[in-house]
Amino acid sequence: MARPALSPDAIVDLALRVVDEGGPAALTLSAVAGAAGVAPPSLYKHVRNLAELRALVSARVIDELAAQAGEAVLGRSADDAVRALMKAWRAYVRRCPNRYAALIQAPEPRTAEAGARLLTIMSATLRAYGMKDSAAIHAARSLRAAVHGFAVLEAEGAFGLPEDLEESYDLLIHMVIAGLHTPPGR
């Protein structure tokens, strides 16, 4: 069987497979080269180093998350859009916990385009609340923090009490939406 041709996209596909199977710590150039059936130096024609590969993986994860969020909010507005966005984000983390854990959370040049796409989707969900400019950025940060925090804690098994997680998440969604209807200063 012939090896697939290597390209940056093919290497990211292999890297995601490594991450899916072994978690973010398993992502090494050796592991990806092994998955490709080549020696590690063969990867350097397509990616400079592990840091660049991690950034490319992160960009793909953000792009996948943006695609799922965009599909979820399509045709919705206001509370329905926020609810759909929050559910889609959590669903992505539940489906791909290792990929999400591999995500570089800090701004990174290679993730800028995908990050901007996700921010545009978030901003569009906030327009119905009359938020724009600085207020929209603050609200988007709060929304991201709420969803990210819950999803990461859930993925790591940090919720040990017996209460239903769906009820807890529904409460979080309700609290976020209520907060969007009552911005600070009112």
pLDDT above 90 for 30: yes
pLDDT tens digits for range 31-69: 999 999 999 999 999 999 999 999 999 999 999 999 999
Instruction: Please give the angle made by the CA atoms of 63, 22 and 64, to the nearest 5 degrees.
Output: 10
pLDDT tens digits for range 68-88: 999 999 999 999 999 999 999
Task: Identify whether residues 78 and 126 lie together within a single domain.
Answer: yes
The CATH number of the domain holding residue 83 is 1.10.357.10
53 domain residue, yes or no: no
Mean pLDDT within 148-177: 96
Q: What share of the chain is helix, strand, coil (3-state, %, to 5)?
A: 75, 0, 25
pLDDT tier, 160 (very low <50, low <70, confident <90, very high otherwise): very high
Q: Are 149 and 93 in contact (CB under 8 A)?
A: no
What's this model's pTM, rounded to 2 decimal places?
0.92
Spatial separation of the C-alpha atoms in residues 4 and 9, rounded to whole Å: 12
Task: Identify whether residues 106 and 31 lie together within a single domain.
Answer: no
Q: What pLDDT, on a 0 to 100 scale, did the predictor assign at position 133?
A: 86
Domain containing 34: what range? Answer: 1-47
pLDDT above 80 for 3: no
The CATH number of the domain holding residue 28 is 1.10.10.60
Task: Identify whether residues 122 and 172 lie together within a single domain.
Answer: yes
Task: Identify whether residues 171 and 80 lie together within a single domain.
Answer: yes
Overall number of domains in the chain: 2
pLDDT tier, 131 (very low <50, low <70, confident <90, very high otherwise): confident
52 domain residue, yes or no: no
